[in-house]
Amino acid sequence: MPGDNFSIRWSCTLAPRRSETYTLTTVSDDKARVCIDGKLVIDSWSPHGPKIDKAEVRLDNGKRHSIKIEYAEQTGEAHMKLPWSSLGQDQQIIPASQLYAD
């Protein structure tokens, strides 16, 4: 993958362990977007330096929620993280064990 001027899209389903409201946080530079169940919840698609964006979403245990993450890198360091948290869970990167291929 080139160091600059690329974009990437991840899509899968997400299965939370608890039914509650989660805070999704993107830590990114350049451009980032997140959709949950087809709804745009974080839209940071204008070019920017290092930035944090947040969205609160209701996720239900026993349901697989679709998630799509888009990221575009123009110049500088490529950086994108998507931690989540809730009242019952400290902030952490979404575990691979809770992500499923489409």
Each residue's pLDDT tens digit, 32-78: 999 999 999 999 999 888 899 999 999 999 999 999 999 998 777 77
| Separation of alpha carbons 33 and 83, rounded Å | 14
Q: Are 16 and 88 in contact (CB under 8 A)?
A: no
Could you please state the CATH topology (level 3) that the domain comprising 6-86 is classified under: Jelly Rolls (2.60.120)
Tell me the pLDDT tens digit for each residue of 73-102.
877 777 789 999 999 999 999 999 999 997
* 101 DSSP 8-state letter: -
* Per-residue model confidence (pLDDT) at position 48: 86
Q: Which pLDDT score, from 0 to 100, does residue 1 have? A: 45
Bridge partners for 74 per DSSP = none
